[in-house]
């Protein structure tokens, strides 16, 4: 394990068994918890959230590069959300064929037509990267995606450093244990929510977490709620159904749900088509968007996080539109771009199709979906593209270069899974927050990081999807 735990330690099966048991206890002790699959809405029975036995080595230079560019990504997302012409142009082909994006875009258009009720904008983002390994052994930071909606694991990743410190101490690796960084995204995310609540200006108004029906990952959110309660800010967890039944706007467009005024709607639900179970659900989303409540994200910021927008940003000259006369910022952002290719109808899209069919293992095919488990790889790319290549349906996807991180040996601790050494790949996420009031950027911060690791044989999926596990970077 380069710069990390030596192989002779990793191969000591008696020690690994002892450390794994201690690690699971440490995870419970520090609150790295999830509800169990069998009872996702009850905290009567919980288990540790899956995590690696050891932290993963990450080069310090690329880690710091990811942190340094985050405030620029915050600014970029915010500028895109304020540029209706750009969103219209970027998403024109997608909304023709992707019904979900089209429904979101229709709400966006209605809000533009009526005029935004609220000038306060709250962004809680997470930009995800992998390290592309070069032939000379060096690695470069390449962005996988930016999440502008329900970016998770800010809570649990605030608690994992202590778990890995304990395990390294027990393994006799004191020097490495001191290199585990403090990390508290939960506090940073809550700080931005609190600022938006404060600017809203009503002490009796609540922060509403709009949550999913099933809540296995509730503790991740509870850490953010806890930080808000420390500031005497009331939080309530509501579902779409609650908004459908009891939500209304008063004459000033203030949002009330279950009789309580809502200052901030923090969307943890609403990023997938299956979240919208009925027309009433869509009506509830529109009601919240039209309201005076601060939305995180608002509808235009939701659209700014789509895969299609990510692909359009990689075209020559597009970043300059958002950062005129700031060549250094443009270069910092561009340095993180992987190859991204259009599948729009026309010669450029035709060229992308042929390129992908000729060598599918070099690419990833991405639909306009969030939440993990949606990407398409290898021979399946050929199947999908052969089916859609002559139709506008192909514009619902983008093509991206496949990133090749260096595998690292580790153990993935999961409930009921055998303890086996694996070749693992990691993905680094960086949390960013911003609050804007009118023209004034009140807050723009990088507030922490998240490392997720998976078996190199698993091609796609996050922690919530049951594939990746939580991890910490061990900088070298």
- To the query of whether residue 452 is one of the catalytic residues in this protein, the response is yes
Within 315-358, where are the H helices? Answer: 318-322, 327-334, 347-358
Active-site pick, 307, 369, 436, 454: 307
**Residue 466 CB neighbour total at 10 angstroms:** 15
For tokens 């200052």, what's the residue?
A: 263
- To the query of whether residue 300 is one of the catalytic residues in this protein, the response is no
- To the query of whether residue 366 is one of the catalytic residues in this protein, the response is yes
- To the query of whether residue 21 is one of the catalytic residues in this protein, the response is no
Bridge partner residues of 437 (DSSP): 120, 440
Bridge partner residues of 430 (DSSP): 127, 449
What contacts 282, CB < 8 A, 6 or more positions away?
A: 103, 107, 276
- To the query of whether residue 147 is one of the catalytic residues in this protein, the response is yes
Active-site pick, 165, 179, 389, 452: 452
Q: Which two tokens stand for residue 45?
A: 């029975």
Active-site pick, 126, 142, 165, 308: 126
Active-site pick, 31, 81, 127, 145: 145
Active-site pick, 81, 125, 152, 158: 152
Active-site pick, 212, 289, 370, 427: 370
Active-site pick, 339, 371, 378, 461: 371
Phi, psi of 221 (to 5 degrees): -80, -35
Question: What is the maximum span of the chain, computed from C-alpha positions, in angstroms?
Answer: 70
Active-site pick, 81, 147, 410, 426: 147
Which residue spans within 246-316 are E strands per DSSP? 248-249, 255-257, 260-267, 294-296
- To the query of whether residue 126 is one of the catalytic residues in this protein, the response is yes
Number of C-alpha atoms within 13 angstroms, CB side, residue 199?
24
Active-site pick, 308, 366, 394, 422: 366
- To the query of whether residue 307 is one of the catalytic residues in this protein, the response is yes
First to last CA, the chain: 12
> Contact, 154 vs 193, CB < 8 A?
no
Identify which of 134, 217, 133, 224 has the alpha carbon closest to the alpha carbon of residue 185.
224
- To the query of whether residue 374 is one of the catalytic residues in this protein, the response is no
User: What residues are annotated to the active site?
Assistant: 126, 145, 147, 152, 307, 366, 370-371, 452
């Amino acid at each position: 394990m380069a710069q990390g735990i030596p192989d002779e330690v990793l191969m000591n099966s008696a020690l690994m068994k002892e450390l794994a048991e201690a690690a699971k206890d440490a995870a419970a002790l520090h609150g790295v918890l999830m509800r169990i699959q069998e009872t996702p809405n009850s905290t009567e029975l919980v288990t540790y959230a899956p995590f690696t036995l050891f932290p993963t080595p990450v080069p310090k230079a690329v880690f710091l590069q990811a942190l340094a560019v985050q405030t620029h990504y915050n600014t970029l997302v915010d500028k895109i959300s304020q540029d209706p012409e750009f969103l219209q142009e970027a998403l024109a082909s997608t909304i023709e064929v992707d019904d979900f994006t089209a429904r979101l875009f229709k709400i966006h258009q209605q809000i533009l037509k009526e005029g935004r009720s609220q000038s306060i904008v709250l962004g809680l983002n997470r930009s995800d990267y992998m390290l592309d390994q070069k032939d000379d052994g060096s690695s470069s930071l390449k962005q996988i995606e930016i999440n502008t909606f329900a970016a998770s694991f800010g809570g649990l990743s605030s608690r994992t450093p202590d778990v890995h410190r304990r395990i390294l101490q027990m393994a006799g690796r004191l020097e490495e244990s001191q290199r585990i960084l403090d990390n508290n995204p939960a506090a940073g995310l809550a700080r931005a929510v609190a600022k938006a609540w404060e600017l809203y200006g009503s002490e009796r108004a609540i922060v509403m977490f709009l949550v999913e029906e099933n809540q296995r990952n509730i503790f991740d959110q509870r850490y953010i709620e806890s930080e808000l309660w420390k500031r005497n800010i009331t939080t309530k967890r509501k579902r779409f159904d609650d908004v459908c039944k009891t939500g209304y706007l008063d004459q000033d467009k203030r949002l009330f749900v279950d009789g309580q005024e809502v200052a901030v709607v923090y969307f943890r639900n609403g990023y997938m088509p299956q979240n919208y179970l009925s027309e009433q659900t869509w009506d509830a989303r529109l009601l919240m968007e039209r309201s005076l409540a601060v939305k995180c994200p608002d509808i235009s910021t939701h659209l700014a996080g789509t895969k299609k927008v990510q692909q359009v940003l990689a075209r020559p000259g597009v970043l300059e539109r958002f950062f005129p006369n700031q060549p250094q910022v443009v270069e910092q952002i561009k340095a993180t771009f992987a190859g991204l290719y259009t599948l729009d109808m026309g010669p450029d899209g035709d060229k992308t199709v042929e390129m992908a069919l000729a060598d599918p293992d070099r690419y990833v095919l991405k639909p306009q979906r969030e939440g993990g488990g949606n990407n398409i790889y290898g021979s399946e790319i050929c199947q999908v593209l052969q089916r859609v290549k002559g139709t506008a349906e192909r514009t619902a996807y983008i093509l991206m270069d496949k990133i090749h991180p260096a595998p690292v040996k580790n153990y993935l601790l999961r409930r009921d899974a055998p303890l086996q050494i694996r070749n693992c790949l990691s993905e680094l996420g960086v949390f960013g927050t911003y609050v804007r009031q009118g023209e004034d950027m009140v807050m723009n911060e990088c507030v922490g990081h998240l490392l997720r690791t998976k078996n190199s044989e698993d091609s796609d999926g996050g922690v919530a999807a049951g594939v990746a596990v939580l991890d910490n970077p061990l900088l070298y």
